């Protein structure tokens, strides 16, 4: 994943899982947001908190890259109050048709994760638009 060695993959996995827990996502929601393979059940998430990297699939990698962007954008948006990240993720927003970013990610899959990142990161949204500087 992302050209990382196994130790780096484990640290990245632990970071993402930590933030999903901080956001208050259930095990089922974590599985869905990460697009983990169907054979992964809620009781099998614990190793990802400890010493197992995420599965090496393009779907999981796509989600992890964007989730890291969301995590970073929320960290810079709320630098003095990290608890606001979980509140923001669960609060309905006009930009998501009055759904929360979490529901947008769960209901819209990869497109929802991308939309949430674009909402938080104007540079990412600019790149998505196909705009170019002159």
Alpha helix (H) residue ranges in 83-131: 83-90, 101-120, 122-129
Domain ranges in the chain? 6-129
Q: What is the pTM of this model?
A: 0.88
pLDDT at residue 134 above 60? Answer: no
Name the residue among 38, 107, 115, 42 with its Cα closest to residue 73. 115
Looking at residue 40, its pLDDT comes to 87
Q: 3-state DSSP call for residue 19?
A: helix
Whole-number mean pLDDT of the chain? 90
pLDDT at residue 133 above 60? Answer: no
Looking at residue 123, its pLDDT comes to 66
Q: 3-state DSSP call for residue 93?
A: strand
Q: What is the mean pLDDT of residues 71-92?
A: 93
How many CB atoms are located within 10 Å of the residue 114 CB? 20
Looking at residue 95, its pLDDT comes to 92
Q: Do the Cβ atoms of 12 and 2 come closer than 8 Å?
A: yes
Name the residue among 43, 49, 59, 42 with its Cα closest to residue 13. 49
Spatial separation of the C-alpha atoms in residues 130 and 17, rounded to whole Å: 32
pLDDT level of residue 64 (50, 70, 90 thresholds): very high
Q: 């050209």: which residue's tokens?
A: 3
- Residue 38 has φ and ψ, to the nearest 5°, of -60, -25
pLDDT at residue 21 above 90? Answer: yes
């Amino acid at each position: 994943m992302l050209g990382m060695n196994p130790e780096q993959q484990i640290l990245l996995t632990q970071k993402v899982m930590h933030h999903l827990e901080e956001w208050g996502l259930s095990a089922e929601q974590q599985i869905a947001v990460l697009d983990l393979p169907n054979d992964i059940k809620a009781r099998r998430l614990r190793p990802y908190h400890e010493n197992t990297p995420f599965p090496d699939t393009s779907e999981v990698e796509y989600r992890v890259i964007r989730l890291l962007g969301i995590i970073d954008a929320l960290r810079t948006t709320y630098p003095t109050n990290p608890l606001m990240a979980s509140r923001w993720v669960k609060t309905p927003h006009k930009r998501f048709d009055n759904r929360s970013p979490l529901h947008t990610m769960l209901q819209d899959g990869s497109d929802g994760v991308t939309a949430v990142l674009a909402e938080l990161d104007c540079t990412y949204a600019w790149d998505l638009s196909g705009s170019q500087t002159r």
